[in-house]
Each structure stands twice: as C-alpha cells, then as structure tokens.
Amino acid sequence: MSGGVAVGFNVFVHGPEGGLERFRIDGLRFDIGSDTECAVRLDGPEISGRHASVEARGDSLAFIDRSMCGSTVDDELVNGDEVPMTAGAAIGIGAYQLRLQVLAGAPDQVSTPPSGSRGAPAEDEAAAEVSVSVRRRIHRDVLENLDLVKLDRNRMNDHLLRAKVIHALADIVERYRHEMPAGVDTEELVRELTHEAIGLGPLERLLADSDVSEIMVVDHQTIYVERGGLIERSTSRFTDEESVRAILERIVAPLGRRIDESSPMLDARLADGSRVNAVISPLALRGTSITIRKFSESPLTVENLVDFGSMTDRIANFLLRSVKVRKNMIISGGTGSGKTTLLNVLSSAIPGGERIVTIEDAAELQLSQSHVVALESRPKNMEGKGQVSIRDLLRNAVRMRPDRIVIGECRGAEALDMLQAMNTGHEGSMTTTHANSAAEALKRIETLALMAGLDLPSRALREQIALSVDVIVQIARLRDGSRRVVSVAEVVGMGDDGQIETREIFGYRRTGEGPDGKVLGEFYATGYLPSYINDFLVSGLVDGMEDIL
C-alpha cells in the first residue's frame, strides 16, 4: 500500500448472476455479512450475519473469518481464522467474489467510520439513527400544525411554503431533542424531514447529485444508485412505507396519472425528463419499488463516448458517416447498456436540412437539429381508454413527410411498420432493440414483426429485414459498469439457407481483468469493407480508400 496511509477501500462485489456492485468504505476496517449493520451486505443461506472482516494494519491487510461455512482467499479456505492478504486477492464468500482497492492518503486523514458506513457523511449516519417512531411523530405534528393538505399551493409559492415548513419542523424537532441520540445533526434532520413533507424525501439529494445516473428504491429502507456504471447502496432511506407511497403520489399527481391496487404499475416521465417506473404491493412483495433513470441536461457527444472508451475514433467516424449517407441502423444491447445514449449521439449526425420525426414511449432523445417533430406514446387513462401506441404514432408519422424516422425502442408489432418505412423512402431511419448480438437482434426484429398478426411466410419477412436494415451496432455493459460498442456489422442479404447474413466490420475482444475489477480489452477491425463504401467517396466524406476504416 504505497503512496500513503490507507484511509479506505473500494470493494467490488461480483454477484452470483454476474452483476457488479461497488461499496465505498471510509476507514481502516469493515465487516462483510448478511446483517444490516455490515458495510458490505450479502444475501444467501451460506452467508453468516457477520461473516468476515477486512482490516488495514500499517502496510498490510488482514482477513478475519467468523462464519460457519468459511471463506476463501485466493482459493485457500479460511474458516474461523485470520490470514494476511493483498489488495488484489480474490475473496470468495458463498456465491460472491470480492476484490479490494485500497484508498490511500495522508496520515491525518485516517479515521474509523461509523458502523455500517459506506462512505456517507457523518451527519447522514446521525440523522439515520433517529428512530422511526420519533420521525413519525414529528411528521404528524407538522401536519397538525400546518395542515399541509389544505394549504393552497397555487396561492403560496414554493419558497414561502418551504420556509414555513422548515420553521415549523425546527421547533418540533427541538421539542423531541431529548428522545434523540447525542450528536444528531438537527439541521440535517430538518432538511430530510422537509424533503419528506413537501419534496421527494431522500430522492431529493440523489436527484440533485450529478454523479448519480439511476436511482433504485427496493423498499423504504433500501435504496441503490448507479454511479459511473456501478451499482452501490445508498445510506439514504425513507421513514417507512407510508412515506414512500406519499412521495410516489407526489411524483405522479402533476402527471395526471394514478397508481393504486387497481393499477399497481406506472411508467412515466418527470418534469425534468427523467423516466420513472414504479410498482406497488401486492405486486412488489417488499414494498413500493421505484426506479428513476435520470435525464441528462447536457447530452453526451461522440467525443465523450470516445473519451470514455466506449468506442474508437475509427468506429465513431464510420458510424457517423453511415448515418450521413442514410443507412438504416439498429442499435442492439441489453438493459442499461447505453442504447438510447448512442442513438442520441448518432442522430446528431443527421444533416440539419432534413425533417426528422422521433417516436418514443418516454421522451429521452435530445436532437439538436431544428426541424424535429417529437412524438410520445400515451397509456390508457383511468377509464381504460385513450391509449396511443408506438405503432399508432409510426403509422401517422409516415404521413407527416419525414425524411427520417427515429424510434426510441422497437418492442412490439411496430417492427413491421418500421421495416416498411425504412424500405419506402425513409432511408437513414434508426431504432434500438434488446438483444445480445447482431444475429439475435435480427431474430428479435423478425419475432416482433410477426406480432403484427399478418400471415407472412418467414422467408418473405426475412427478405424484408435484409432489404431494410443496413447496419447493426451492438453495445454492451461490461462487468465493471463500462459500456462498449462490441460489434458493428453490415446486413449483406439472404443466404442459400434462407437465413439473414451479416459481416462484422468492427469488434471488441476482452483480454482480462485488472486488480480493481476493471475489464481489459481491445477494439479491432476485421478487414471487411462494407458494400456501401463508395457512398462515402461520392458524398465527399473521405479523401480516399485509406481514410475509410
């Protein structure tokens, strides 16, 4: 541990289903186990409550096992014992694999964190120690004092309302001070309770955190966030289930939507453009579940993706040129792999003089061109009527004289209409779909097109796909949370066996994994030249053949 004294750790946890979580630990020691007080919490029948601990001692690390089932360090069994270890050692606990990254600093930075800390500010821990019963009584008292239900928010601006609530809460919290642990930061507690009373509770701070890209509420006391592509548990939590439901109602009310036992699922867009999905009981067994994918105020550019290592300059230039010469493109990948982000980036290459129609379930695209018609689908209303589907919008869009149609995601029968549009004067159209490879993406489009209900022979449908789609871009989210364009392939036609044929142009191969859990790999060009290379030359996008790939 050169470079300074250890002050904390990043703990990378690979789960049994291939997921990756990162825990930030401040201090020289932390516990691992199933107890809620453990800094790294794992679930499973073979995980003990306080299964093991890791401790920094000067220039060395110690692993202490306290479990019934034992652990492994670099494949060596440790059962009820203490062994020295290195930062890059592989720790096995049940079905989980853990790796450490030691954070170093000056000696005066060393401190021991509160129990269960994941790098959160001390005031958050103090506020979290206030009992649920006390927080509930404070909520009840502020409601009785201000009668928030009857306050006319139209006649009182947000600043005055917030000031009134803060003043009342400060007085009430002071009255309950004798029931709180010593050292509680009452200002932070008032801030949290204000958010719960008239804001979005613990979601307020997470929504304001620019490093957080996604917020996942599992239950009232379990919230996860995504930072830099990695999922980590937040120390924020709600007072109780009633608090979560009240804040969810606060989210959906301005949208003119409802969520209750008759309609227990919700998919909507917040005022700032963030997407929100919610599921309540009885469908959500642990309590109300909320997932918010935050809206980026400043869209990423192709230069950003190159800097992030998502692709190389050569791949980026090829894709942008393909968009400019009006090649129909499908971006394929798994959930959270960055499909919509890449679609938004590539759409920026569409010339400004063209008329673009975008169609989405929840508007996320942020095209910079001036001539863009943005359409958004609409779910059923409370009476079960008024639904406008992606397919309805697509059918109408072709009557709007678009040069190109951009569909946020193709997930149903609209796939057939999209193929027809791509092949009837709307070249250069783009969409995304869920699939794990270019071949699977084409099969998924075929399956979705069959949902249109037309009795088309499989060969005829595949011929339509082969004639309509030019390029498949496969993007993936890797184990370390990074996103990579792992394949770019051209659809070259139908084979003698009746299957759609593709030729890979660029690819990505994984070469290993660093000690900090970071995936190592390299991009490569296969040497295959696409059939439409001449379009680049004719359009003046390249100077010669050597500049193409």
pLDDT tens for 436-474 read 999 999 999 999 999 988 888 888 999 999 999 999 999
Confidence of residue 503 (pLDDT cuts 50, 70, 90): very high
Asked if residue 522 and residue 428 are part of one domain, the reply reads yes
Pick from 260, 293, 326: which residue ends a domain? Answer: 293
Point out the least confidently predicted range of 124-133, 319-328, 336-345: 124-133
Q: Domain of 40: which CATH number?
A: 2.60.200.20
Give the Cα separation of 514 and 529 in Å (integer): 34
Q: Which residue has the higher pLDDT, 354 or 178?
A: 354
Residue 225 scores a pLDDT above 60: yes
pLDDT at 540: 84
- Residue 485 CA neighbour count, 13 Å, CB half: 31
Asked if residue 78 and residue 159 are part of one domain, the reply reads no
Return the number of other C-beta atoms located less than 10 Å from residue 15's C-beta: 15
List the one residue out of 124, 125, 138, 219 whose CA is nearest residue 171. 138
For residue 154, give every residue at least 6 positions away whose Cβ sits within 8 Å of its Cβ, in sequence order, or none.
none
Give the residue-averaged pLDDT of 132-159. 62
Asked if residue 379 and residue 489 are part of one domain, the reply reads yes
549: in domain:
no
548: in domain:
no
Task: Using a pLDDT cut of 90, give the percent of the chain over it.
Answer: 38
pLDDT tens for 77-109 read 998 889 999 887 889 998 888 988 888 754 333
Q: Specify the pTM.
A: 0.69
Confidence of residue 268 (pLDDT cuts 50, 70, 90): confident
For residue 478, give every residue at least 6 positions away whose Cβ sits within 8 Å of its Cβ, in sequence order, or none.
484, 510, 519
Asked if residue 347 and residue 228 are part of one domain, the reply reads no
- Cβ 461 vs Cβ 499: under 8 Å: no
Asked if residue 376 and residue 423 are part of one domain, the reply reads yes
Pick from 269, 293, 317: which residue ends a domain? Answer: 293
Structural domain that includes position 46: 5-119
Asked if residue 129 and residue 81 are part of one domain, the reply reads no
Mean pLDDT computed over every residue of the chain:
83
Can you say how many angstroms the Cα of residue 197 is from the centroid of all Cα atoms in its chain?
27
Q: Domain of 409: which CATH number?
A: 3.40.50.300
Amino acid 285 reads L
Give the Cα separation of 161 and 109 in Å (integer): 41
Q: Domain of 264: which CATH number?
A: 3.30.450.90
E strands in 117-207 = none
Asked if residue 83 and residue 45 are part of one domain, the reply reads yes
Pick from 59, 93, 119: which residue ends a domain? Answer: 119
Asked if residue 516 and residue 399 are part of one domain, the reply reads yes
Asked if residue 335 and residue 188 are part of one domain, the reply reads no
pLDDT tens for 6-18 read 678 888 888 877 6
Give the residue-averaged pLDDT of 310-336. 94
Confidence of residue 110 (pLDDT cuts 50, 70, 90): very low
Give the Cα separation of 315 and 373 in Å (integer): 29
Asked if residue 269 and residue 172 are part of one domain, the reply reads yes
What residues pair up with 330 in beta bridges, in sequence order?
Answer: 431, 472
Asked if residue 512 and residue 442 are part of one domain, the reply reads yes
Specify the number of domains making up the chain.
Answer: 3
Confidence of residue 207 (pLDDT cuts 50, 70, 90): confident
Point out the least confidently predicted range of 71-75, 379-383, 477-481: 379-383
Confidence of residue 129 (pLDDT cuts 50, 70, 90): low
User: Can you read off the two tokens belonging to residue 483?
Assistant: 């996103």
pLDDT tens for 416-438 read 999 989 988 899 999 999 999 99
Residues in the chain, how many?
549
3-state secondary structure (DSSP) of residue 514? coil
